[in-house]
Amino acid sequence: MSFKAYVIMDSPAEKTANMVRTLRKKPGVVSVDRIEDSPQVIMVVEAPERRRLAKLTVQAISSADSIATVMQLLTATSN
């Protein structure tokens, strides 16, 4: 069983590529993709329990430079 968070982030266009590289290296991050227009990045974080998911998500977000806005969507049930 695992829990997932989908995190949608916006950053200045010139900073997005670096942000994606940084986020992909973080524990718990299973995917990071650039998307067209704004917001520019979607990240999926996965963990076996909700507390761990919250910790990993906050760590990943705080490691990224120049995030303008963030929206987090948590799955309602584990997979």
Task: Collapse the DSSP code of 79 into the 3-class scheme (helix H, G, I; strand E, B; otherwise coil) and give the result.
Answer: coil
Q: What is the CATH number of the domain that holds 58?
A: 3.30.70.920
Is the peptide bond prior to 12 cis by the omega test (within 30 degrees of 0)? Answer: no
In the structure encoding, which two tokens stand for residue 57, read together? 């998500």
In a domain, 79, yes or no: no
- What are the pLDDT digits (tens) for 28-50? 999 999 988 777 899 999 999 99
Domain extent, residue 12, equals 3-74
Q: Per residue in 18-29, pLDDT tens?
A: 999 999 999 999
- Per-residue confidence (pLDDT) for residue 68, from 0 to 100: 82
Say if 61 falls within a structural domain: yes
Residue 50 CA to residue 52 CA, distance in Å, equals 5
How many structural domains is the chain composed of?
A: 1
- What predicted TM-score, i.e. pTM, was given to this entire model? 0.87
